[in-house]
Amino acid sequence: MFPFSSELRSVTALCVVEDVSKCPLGYTPILRTHDLEADADLWKDGLFSRRVTRYVCISKTQGRPEHVVESIQIIHDRELPPEGYSIIAQTSDSSQKAFKKKHLCYKVSHFKSSVESVVDLIILSKLKNPPDGYDPIGDINGMHFCVRKISAITRLSTPGLSYGILPGHVLYPKLNDSMGNISLNESSGSPTAGVRGNGIAYPMSASSLNNSVNSSPVHGMNQLPGYPGMPLQRTMSNTGTGSNFFGLEGIPFMLREDLKNCKNAIRQGRRGSMINVKSQYDLDNQYNYDFRTERDALIAEM
């Protein structure tokens, strides 16, 4: 329904139309069911009556600026919507009733404050087994709705999900080449690692990491002497289906040479001459970074 690169972007608005040719600018109508490629019309009049149609449209560019769709629900027309939800009661093109006996409602929130957001909405003709990563939210006129959500952290940092929510080659094209240089050493009995095509990081030996860093076009420099590679740590999620690669693996933590002389003073509670103690407020003000430039660049490339 959307090109691959747009799947990491959250849905920002929804609407319902009667005539798909009058779908608002920036919206994409869902014309076919995901499972059977059948007509996704949600009205389905009688055989001999005038044809009336209803199609859901979603957008990843329209709506309130800097807001994303956090959740979508289907309720009965006599129910009140949950707090913070908006009902799609009418078609946007003809101002007619959107659905029979049901309401489609959704909640938007600022992207910085949203815990999770919807990145895709599909319609199924028959709800047997929803696709992996999708959750059913209800049905309208026998058509079953499923949504795919990701957390705010996943949206920005987690590679390797089944739909490629944040593939490395989209954000950082050169990173994809360097990942290919980190491969599993199957002939060795010692623990080695790499990043496979799905972006998942695996434990690797120090020698393998050194070779991959030296040959990586991302770094553009040889490894500094005296800094041996360190094993990658495998961080699995609580579901056991994904892991995170943070880019800091193999970098040892150590003090600068000019600060090593201060470590005894630090242990004794005395300030070193080069150490300026800062409060949490000062640290937040000086080092806070919201990645706005990266987000804008990513959206511009789509």
Write the CATH number for 128.
2.100.10.50
Q: Are residues 127 and 141 in the same domain?
A: yes
The predicted pLDDT at position 286 comes to 85
Q: Are residues 138 and 29 in the same domain?
A: yes
Q: Are residues 69 and 137 in the same domain?
A: yes
Q: Are residues 73 and 217 in the same domain?
A: no
The predicted pLDDT at position 263 comes to 61
The predicted pLDDT at position 265 comes to 60
Q: Are residues 129 and 244 in the same domain?
A: no
The predicted pLDDT at position 287 comes to 84
| Secondary structure letter of residue 32 according to DSSP | B
Q: Is residue 226 part of a domain?
A: yes
Distance CA 201, CA 187 (A): 19
Return the H-helix or E-strand segment holding 102.
strand 102-110
Q: Is residue 241 part of a domain?
A: yes
**What pTM did the predictor assign?**
0.52
Q: Is residue 279 part of a domain?
A: yes
Q: Is residue 149 part of a domain?
A: yes
Q: Are residues 299 and 285 in the same domain?
A: yes
Distance CA 54, CA 30 (A): 10
Q: Is residue 26 part of a domain?
A: yes
Distance CA 217, CA 294 (A): 20
Instruction: Answer with the one of 214, 236, 254 that is the final residue of a domain.
Output: 254
Q: Is residue 10 part of a domain?
A: yes
Instruction: Answer with the one of 127, 157, 187 that is the final residue of a domain.
Output: 157
**pLDDT profile of the chain (302 residues), mean per 10:** 56 95 95 93 75 94 92 94 94 94 94 90 88 93 94 61 36 42 41 40 43 40 41 39 50 73 61 69 82 79 66
- Radius of gyration of the chain from Cα atoms? 25
Q: Are residues 8 and 86 in the same domain?
A: yes
Place of tokens 């629900």: 73
* Cβ proximity of 146 and 130 under 8 Å: yes
Q: Which domain holds residue 231?
A: 167-254
Question: Sign of the C-alpha dihedral, residues 29, 124, 148, 298?
Answer: negative
Q: Which residues sit opposite 69 in a β-bridge?
A: 108
Q: Are residues 181 and 201 in the same domain?
A: yes
The predicted pLDDT at position 111 comes to 86
C-alpha pair distances (Å), 281 with each of 113, 271, 284: 20, 20, 5
The predicted pLDDT at position 141 comes to 92
The torsion region of residue 273 among left (phi > 0), alpha (psi -120 to 50) and beta comes to alpha
The predicted pLDDT at position 166 comes to 35
Q: Are residues 127 and 144 in the same domain?
A: yes
Q: Are residues 11 and 139 in the same domain?
A: yes
Q: Is residue 162 part of a domain?
A: no
Q: Considering its fold, how many domains does the chain have in total?
A: 3
Instruction: Answer with the one of 130, 157, 184 that is the final residue of a domain.
Output: 157
The predicted pLDDT at position 26 comes to 93
The predicted pLDDT at position 61 comes to 92
Q: Are residues 56 and 78 in the same domain?
A: yes
Q: Is residue 201 part of a domain?
A: yes
Q: Are residues 18 and 81 in the same domain?
A: yes
